[in-house]
Amino acid sequence: MLTRTVGRWLSWPIERIAALLARTGIPPNVVTWSALVLNLWATVFFAAGRFRAAAGLMVLAGLGDLLDGPVARRQGRVSLFGGFLESILDRYADLMLFLGLLVYYVSVNRFLYVVLACIAMAGAVMVSYAKARAQSLVAVEDVGFWERPERLVLMILGGLFNRMALVLWIIAIGANITVVHRILRTWKQTKSEHEAPQRFRKPVEQSAAPVANLLTRTAGRGR
């Protein structure tokens, strides 16, 4: 996936920048909140139709997303709440960016792209929700392509090259296909995990039957 590829390419510079930030004592949660503020600023530019400026701010926000984890590790501040907070703020950032596009397309009377932005926004949120909900039920692997890093890269490219309409089509279709893919994968896994105990239950019950009969006969003799 793009996440792992980007992680390999950027691991060295990210670690160097994280080392510098860690020495300043800046808490990792501040880095996380800074990424949200940058995305909020990008939202304002999207709403104003300044797509290139918005894309530039998204790049900076993405850098913040990559840095908060390494900074936390170097400062010894890794926590369950930090990961939880990052996930929540990422969802807000996703929603804000699409909201900016919604405002823009409403202002230019492009009703089709207003609807398309809504569908893309729903797909983006549901990709993450489907994964989180599936993980609460079964051990699942990542399936589908359009996770958050892929969507953000595509939106940045759409902003830089002024092709946001095409980007919305791709995300609206691709993200929702990923959701369906995850639904099917989770259904298969829950079905297989439900049937596995059933296959082993019958032999156990059959093997227990003679023991039960023996105990009944023995109890009768005792009377």
Write the CATH number for 88.
Answer: 1.20.120.1760
pLDDT per residue as tens digits for the range 152-167: 999 999 999 999 999 9
Q: Residue 198 — very low, low, confident or very high, per pLDDT cuts 50/70/90?
A: low
Q: Which amino acid is at 59?
A: V
Domain count, the chain: 1
Give the tens place of pLDDT for each residue, 124-133: 999 989 888 8
CB 82 within 8 A of CB 29: yes
Q: Torsion angle of alpha carbons 162, 149, 123, 99, nearest 10°?
A: -50
Domain that holds residue 120: 2-222
Is residue 66 scored above 70 in pLDDT?
yes
**pLDDT, average across residues 48-75:** 94
Q: What is the CA radius of gyration of the chain?
A: 25
Q: What is the pLDDT of residue 140?
A: 65
- What's the distance, CA 176 to chain centroid? 13
Q: Is 140 helix (H, G, I), strand (E, B) or coil?
A: coil
203 alpha carbon, distance to own chain's centre: 42
d(CA 78, CA 71): 9
pLDDT at 4: 58
Beta carbons of 119 and 170 less than 8 angstroms apart: no
Is the predicted pLDDT of residue 142 greater than 70, yes or no? no
> Does position 2 have pLDDT exceeding 90, yes or no?
no
> Is residue 71 predicted with pLDDT exceeding 90?
yes
> What are the start-end ranges of the E strands in the chain?
none
Residue 141 pLDDT class (50, 70, 90 cuts): low
